[in-house]
Structure 1
């Protein structure tokens, strides 16, 4: 009978240190992002690691340093094209800082708080809460356990929680003034989730802007931040006796659904019969099929502010909470008439 193969012994930091003629702690510093190491020592250690095919053991390091260098990111609306862009940007910037993301998802429109138990099972160094559908309970629990947390693209009334958002209320206000200036007299609004701060703030700004222009509050329906929900919301609005002449949707994902329903189910011309405006300015907004006028979410600055805040909180946990609002701009395209 042939004997079972013997597994090769894993190369350790001690082996690398011996080959490089240095200490194990020096090897650890070389593989720690941001650590101060001389160029000569770094090259000797890296050459020894290449010779031995050594790879650092992140789990073992986390046990000794009590840092996993993992950041949990909680999202729900992956069908919304904005959030894959958020994940890509967060992951790229965190990797540059020596961190990896651990993704947690919840169902679109779900309360989502059961994810708390899942997140707490992992030794994450920080949490980014990027889901409009979650309550603030996860953020409060993380903060109570000393885990830094930043709410991304949403706000909360809790003064103990930090957040980074686009300028949602000003964006809604700007869209209202734009539509009023274009001669629209019956604008409507498709909301996201009723409990979502982003949808609430965009609607508040929109309603205020319409009032300043002498227009009545908008007819509204709820699209739940989903394609199917927005399609049904658009049908409800477009069947009304006083059909709207413009629809502002709380994000681009829903605006695209509105355009397709208006065109293919009601035979309407965009923008001659109906103007449609979104929010986020995701990639499909620029596609010729939609050519969507949208208020741009400044993703790069929002991600930079979020990561900067997380790193500061990880180094100095007692820093006061912060709220950052990053300005955006209305991007004019062909889905909304100017006059």
Structure 2
């Protein structure tokens, strides 16, 4: 039986056809490496004739850099995080790196996923939807893998983070609703979610400071369907609320549809609804949702800047940057002019 031959073109083949050294071929494909224009032209011409593509894996072993950034998230199908992923991908590629997307399904799988990412020897990690254990933090420190948390923060001081002040956003929602409403409710996210906790706590603290102790809370999971179901439970009560704050826009959209289509309520005359994120659908005329806008582009830019400063050893410290939200008032709420 004939042995299969590996017909993959190597840098040696390109060097021989171009009449240059093998190291010249390597320098041609290494950003910033020194090579004359004449030699570069010869290498590229030979590479085109041979359909040669450089072996990135082999090069990474020599250069001790994979030029891969791991991005860990568990809600990439949501409108907000799909935009986040698109922005991170664009920015990372502009830096000459590639992205390794790793999806987690629950908090219990976080350590395993991050351990796998470290086995790929990624140059850095962006974590958007997970809580870091002390074990994983220690592993990242030992392997000198830079980590930036996006839209969340950690109790570990060694980890950089860029996030929005969810508590302040929840407070802004309450302050808008307080003058013209009496019965308040909040639809939270999953238990254990830091973003849900901060946003709902800010809202609840603000209404309690105004003497309101009788309010309602339900939980969803940041999705449209969970918002719809939570709204059904709230609006089916005799003491149903006349204002609902949802910790995500998708849950707010589900809340609005449940109110209008199942309970025949008018928005905002019978019920005011506020969301969080300002996804594209929030501004659709069928919803026109009042919401808290996160400065997504600024957040991504800050996270990328800090990550690559750490990768390039330009910054040995950590950065924790907390940004403010903007209240975007639309017609889903009754509010003072």
TM-score, normalization: structure 2?
0.88
User: 1:213 Cα shift?
Assistant: 4.7
**Structure 2 counterpart of 1:78:** 76
Query: Within 5 Å, which residues of 2 pair with 1:133-282?
Result: 138-181=136-179, 183-216=180-213, 218-282=215-279
User: 1:218 Cα shift?
Assistant: 4.1
- Distance, in Å, in 2 between the alignment partners of 1:52 and 1:79 is 40
**Structure 2 counterpart of 1:296:** 293
- Distance, in Å, in 2 between the alignment partners of 1:324 and 1:20 is 51
Partner-residue secondary structure (3-state), 1:279: strand
User: 1:90 Cα shift?
Assistant: 0.7
Write out per-residue CA displacement over residues 256-275 of structure 1, whole angstroms, 9 at most, x where no aligned residue: 12112212222212222111
Q: Please state if 1:129 is matched with 2:127.
A: yes
Relative to structure 1, the CA distance from residue 307 to residue 69 in structure 2 (aligned partners, 3 Å threshold; closer, same or farther) is: same
Q: Please state if 1:32 is matched with 2:15.
A: no
Relative to structure 1, the CA distance from residue 319 to residue 59 in structure 2 (aligned partners, 3 Å threshold; closer, same or farther) is: same
Number of residues paired by the alignment?
335
Given that 2:177 and 2:243 are in contact with CA atoms closer than 8 Å, whether structure 1 keeps it comes out as yes
**Structure 2 counterpart of 1:329:** 326
User: Which ranges of structure 1 fall in alignment gaps of 5 or more residues?
Assistant: none
Aligned match of 1:97 in 81, 95, 98?
95
**Structure 1 counterpart of 2:313:** 316
User: 1:125 Cα shift?
Assistant: 1.5
User: 1:21 Cα shift?
Assistant: 5.4
Q: Higher mean Cα deviation, 218-227 or 93-102?
A: 218-227
- Distance, in Å, in 1 between the alignment partners of 2:184 and 2:323 is 26
User: Which ranges of structure 2 fall in alignment gaps of 5 or more residues?
Assistant: none
User: 1:211 Cα shift?
Assistant: 4.1
Given that 2:260 and 2:267 are in contact with CA atoms closer than 8 Å, whether structure 1 keeps it comes out as yes
- Distance, in Å, in 2 between the alignment partners of 1:180 and 1:36 is 65
Write out per-residue CA displacement over residues 182-227 of structure 1, whole angstroms, 9 at most, x where no aligned residue: x122221111122122111112222233345554474211112233
